Amino acid sequence: MSIAVLAPGLLSSLQDSGRQGWRHLGVGRSGALDPLSFSLANLLVGNPADTAAIEITMSGPRLRFVHSARISICGAQVDASLDGLSIPRWRRVDIPAGSELRIGACRVGVRAYLAVTGGFATKCVLGSMSTDLRAGFGGFDGRALQAGDELAIAGGFQPQCDQVVVDTRWIDPAPDLDFSAPAIIHVLPGADALAAPDALFADEWQVGNASNRQGLRLQGSLLRIADPRERISEPVMPGTLQLPADGQPILLLADAQTHGGYPRIAHAIRADWPRLAQLRPGDSLRFVRCDAGKAQRKLIEQRQRLARMAIAIAARP
Amino acid sequence: MNDFLVVETLGEDALLLRFGDAIDAQINRRVHACAAALQCDRPDWLIDIVPAFATLALCIDLDAFADAREPLTEVRRWLQSRKLGTGADAVVASVRTHLIKVRYGGESGPDLEAVAAHAGLLPDAVIDRHCAAEYRVGMLGFAPGFPYLIGMDAGLAMPRHATPRTRVDAGSVGIAGAQTGIYPRSGPGGWQIIGRTDESLFDVSRECPALLEPGDSVRFINAAEADRSSP
């Protein structure tokens, strides 16, 4: 069973929940930037939540399904159609053999996930099927998808269908992912203090054009570090908010380097990563202060909502 | 008594043990001794031990603490109950030594002449000094398997290129400030390139993908001389 890539879209890559335990060798996490949409896409098609899926960025691919398949698309608001018939997100969709799936431009949000029952048959590299785009390994040949690629589907499941079958039931990712609400990102304090401690929280920040899977480059009022001495390289993590000398912070995402020499002024909490992953150049966000207890509560609540959705989906006939 | 000065938080799921804030061989040795001590008796929830020059990050599996009140508080308590990075641990930690054969100068090392001019030395003297030192892998970072080596002759120090090269070949040996390192993979890079090795620095198909690991000892061998002296 396989899918033929007719056109790859802007940046489509295989991602799972990421690579853990290799940062000491300089290997970053990679993995789905929006873990919530990624997990829900998998759960909807009956996969374990961390099965490899295609992460779509900004504009999606055109794919031909050689055999029938069960799919779902979650995340950014994106136009998807199957041989001209529009198909909705956040649902299970059975598609007949020979279908051509077109995923268009993301209208709201920036990353969508395409999951297929069985997942993709790709090699596990250092414990993960995620593509490390910077280092060039994992996923499909260590790179983003290209026209002509043939993606093998694992498991061999083929739904019996002569035409598209869209499940009448969908799921709602709110409040964990709500595109209509302003992006409020909770942050824990970093090791390095700002000259004006409230400056990070006073105004809105805009996402810059140079943002990518490594990090969001933020634009706003100039920030100054209290102690401007040169720093040596120290470990950084996805979620770390760095402040380079130009005074415009960079919020590190899943493809971040393992070490960095810039001051660390804050850390975005994990419960807000789905929202962060969906911010596109020009979008605005605000930071609010958080503490470890609240961060933990928000993460546990998010996981409980996900677990309840998993149970509800599994209970469907 | 613990050897690190302070424990900082690094987000929700990591702690940073600080041993200092400078690139210094002694401080870095303590980082690796502490990493080795943690590695010996490593709990399941400790998913990564990430050394840097003067700090050590401990990455925690939050799921292992599902019922605990606050994972990082628990980890801090666990750290306090242990003796880490003491002199005894430093002795116990064994050090692997690697010999890396390098072709210096020419196409392999396009910046050798510039480094020599900057140092006020002949190119051969730069090679001799680069091969004379014993280096320690201070940390791996920037890219998978990229070693930052501590211990270079201070006379060879040179700032990196103001504008990075668009392509540096895999195996290139470079100088940036007081450090020397090796590019595992071809790509853009700003270090002063003095030579190149055929060794594969990073290969995901190996059991340990990185040739050089944090804390390892490294010596460079001048390939031209090694070939001349071999029978």
| Lowest model confidence (mean pLDDT) among A1-10, A212-221, A293-302, B62-71 | B62-71
Q: Using alpha carbons, list the distances in angstroms from residue A265 to A187, A203, A244, B32.
A: 10, 16, 10, 26
Q: Are residues A135 and A218 in the same domain?
A: no
- This prediction's pTM: 0.94
Token code pair at residue B209? 């993908």
Read off the pLDDT of residues B98-138 as tens digits, 9 standing for 90 and up.
999 999 999 999 999 999 999 999 999 999 999 999 999 99
**If you average pLDDT over every residue of chain A, what do you get?**
96
Domain boundary among A142, A170, A198: A170
Domain boundary among A141, A170, A199: A170
Q: Cβ of B139 and A233 within 8 Å?
A: yes
Q: Are residues A32 and A142 in the same domain?
A: yes
Structural domain including A164 reads 2-170
What is the pLDDT, as a whole number, of residue B2?
60
Q: Is the predicted pLDDT of residue B150 greater than 90, yes or no?
A: yes
Q: Return phi, psi of residue B151, to 5°.
A: 120, 10
CB pairs A-B closer than 8 Å: 126
Q: Provide, as residue numbers in chain B, all residues whose Cβ is less than 8 Å from the Cβ of A125.
A: 204
Read off the pLDDT of residues B177-192 as tens digits, 9 standing for 90 and up.
999 999 999 999 999 9
CA A259 to chain centre: 21
Q: Cβ of B72 and A264 within 8 Å?
A: no
Inside any domain, residue A311 = no
> Which residue of B9, B10, B27 to mutate against A (max A Cβ within 10 Å)?
B10
> Which residues, 6+ apart, have CB-to-CB distance to B229 below 8 Å?
none
- Options 3.40.50.620, 3.10.290.10, 2.40.100.10, 3.40.1000.10; CATH for B97-229 is 2.40.100.10
Which residue type sits at B223?
A: A
String of DSSP letters for A27-54: ----S-SSHHHHHHHHHHTT--TT--EE
Helical (H) or strand (E) element with A313: helix A292-314
Q: Cβ of A232 and B53 within 8 Å?
A: yes
Using CA of residue A159, residue A163, residue A165, residue A166, what is the dihedral sign? positive
Token code pair at residue B176? 């940036």
| Secondary structure of residue A205 in the 3-state scheme | strand
Beta bridge partners of A75: A112
Q: Are residues A48 and A131 in the same domain?
A: yes
A114 vs B196: CA distance, rounded Å: 43
Residues in chain B: 231
Q: Return phi, psi of residue A34, to 5°.
A: -105, 90
- Name the pLDDT band for B19 (thresholds 50, 70, 90): very high
Q: Is the predicted pLDDT of residue B66 greater than 90, yes or no?
A: no
CA A1 to chain centre: 26
Q: Are residues A148 and A59 in the same domain?
A: yes
- Would you say A279 and A110 are in contact if contact means Cβ atoms under 8 Å apart? yes
A229 vs B98: CA distance, rounded Å: 35
Which residue type sits at B137?
A: V
Which residue of chain B has the CA closest to A190? B10
- CATH code assigned at A264: 2.40.100.10
Q: Is the predicted pLDDT of residue B230 greater than 70, yes or no?
A: no
Helical (H) or strand (E) element with A219: strand A215-219
What is the pLDDT, as a whole number, of residue B67?
67
| Secondary structure of residue B103 in the 3-state scheme | strand
Q: Are residues A160 and A219 in the same domain?
A: no
Q: What angle separates helix A292-314 from helix A35-44, to the nearest 10 degrees?
A: 20
- Whether B9 has its CB under 8 Å from any CB of chain A: the answer is yes
A28 vs B114: CA distance, rounded Å: 34
Q: Nearest 5°: CA angle at B188, between B182 and A282?
A: 130
Q: Are residues A17 and A87 in the same domain?
A: yes
Give the pairing type, strands A100-116 and A62-65.
antiparallel
- Whether A199 has its CB under 8 Å from any CB of chain B: the answer is no
Inside any domain, residue A312 = no
Return residues 57-96 of B near A (CB < 8 Å). Answer: 57, 59, 61-62, 70-73
| Secondary structure of residue A171 in the 3-state scheme | coil
- Name the pLDDT band for A258 (thresholds 50, 70, 90): very high
What is the pLDDT, as a whole number, of residue B88?
46
Q: Using alpha carbons, list the distances in angstroms from residue A252 to A48, A168, B155, B184, B197.
A: 27, 38, 36, 23, 33
Domain boundary among A136, A170, A204: A170
- Whether A230 has its CB under 8 Å from any CB of chain B: the answer is no
Q: Is the predicted pLDDT of residue B93 greater than 80, yes or no?
A: no
| Lowest model confidence (mean pLDDT) among A102-106, A130-134, A173-177 | A173-177
- Whether B20 has its CB under 8 Å from any CB of chain A: the answer is no
Q: What angle separates helix B112-119 from helix B123-132, to the nearest 10 degrees?
A: 90
The domain at B6-92 falls in which architecture? 2-Layer Sandwich (3.30)
Read off the pLDDT of residues A142-159 as tens digits, 9 standing for 90 and up.
999 999 999 999 998 999
- Would you say B16 and B52 are in contact if contact means Cβ atoms under 8 Å apart? no
* Average pLDDT of the segment spanning A246-262: 96
Q: Are residues A217 and A300 in the same domain?
A: yes
**According to CATH, where is 2.40.100.10 located in chain B?**
97-229
DSSP annotation of A194 reads: B
Q: How many Å lie between the alpha carbon of A234 and the closest alpha carbon of chain B? A: 5
Q: Provide, as residue numbers in chain B, all residues whose Cβ is less than 8 Å from the Cβ of A233.
A: 52-53, 139, 141, 148
What is the pLDDT, as a whole number, of residue A317?
76
- Whether B6 has its CB under 8 Å from any CB of chain A: the answer is no
Q: Nearest 5°: CA angle at A270, between B6 and A15?
A: 115
**According to CATH, where is 3.30.1360.40 located in chain B?**
6-92
**Which pairs from B170-174 meet CB under 8 Å and 24+ separation?**
B170/B201, B171/B196, B171/B197, B171/B198, B171/B199, B171/B200, B171/B201, B172/B108, B172/B109, B172/B196, B173/B100, B173/B102, B173/B109, B173/B130, B173/B197, B173/B220, B174/B111
| Secondary structure of residue B214 in the 3-state scheme | coil
What is the pLDDT, as a whole number, of residue A161?
92
Share of chain A above pLDDT 90, in %: 96
Q: Are residues A15 and A66 in the same domain?
A: yes
- Name the pLDDT band for B231 (thresholds 50, 70, 90): low
Quote the number of domains for chain A.
2
Q: Are residues A163 and A189 in the same domain?
A: no
Which residue of chain A has the CA closest to B24? A232
Inside any domain, residue A128 = yes
Q: Using alpha carbons, list the distances in angstroms from residue A283 to A206, A277, B96.
A: 6, 12, 50
- Would you say A233 and A261 are in contact if contact means Cβ atoms under 8 Å apart? yes
- Whether A239 has its CB under 8 Å from any CB of chain B: the answer is yes
CA A311 to chain centre: 23
Residue with the bigger pLDDT between B149 and B87: it is B149
Q: Cβ of B204 and A125 within 8 Å?
A: yes
> Which residues, 6+ apart, have CB-to-CB distance to A171 below 8 Å?
A40, A44, A90, A91, A309, A312, A313
Measured from the Cβ of residue A197, the count of other Cβ atoms closer than 10 Å reads 12
Q: Cβ of B72 and A239 within 8 Å?
A: no
Q: Cβ of A293 and B72 within 8 Å?
A: no
* Average pLDDT of the segment spanning B206-227: 94
Q: Using alpha carbons, list the distances in angstroms from residue A127 to A21, B57, B143.
A: 9, 20, 18
Q: Are residues A98 and A208 in the same domain?
A: no
Helix segments in A1-117, DSSP class H: 35-44
Q: Provide, as residue numbers in chain B, all residues whose Cβ is less than 8 Å from the Cβ of A191.
A: 8, 10, 16
Beta bridge partners of B140: B147
Which residue of chain A has the CA closest to B177? A232
What is the pLDDT, as a whole number, of residue B5?
77
Q: Are residues A110 and A242 in the same domain?
A: no
What is the pLDDT, as a whole number, of residue B84?
62
Q: Are residues A234 and A150 in the same domain?
A: no
Pick from B104, B160, B168, B100: nearest CA to B134: B100
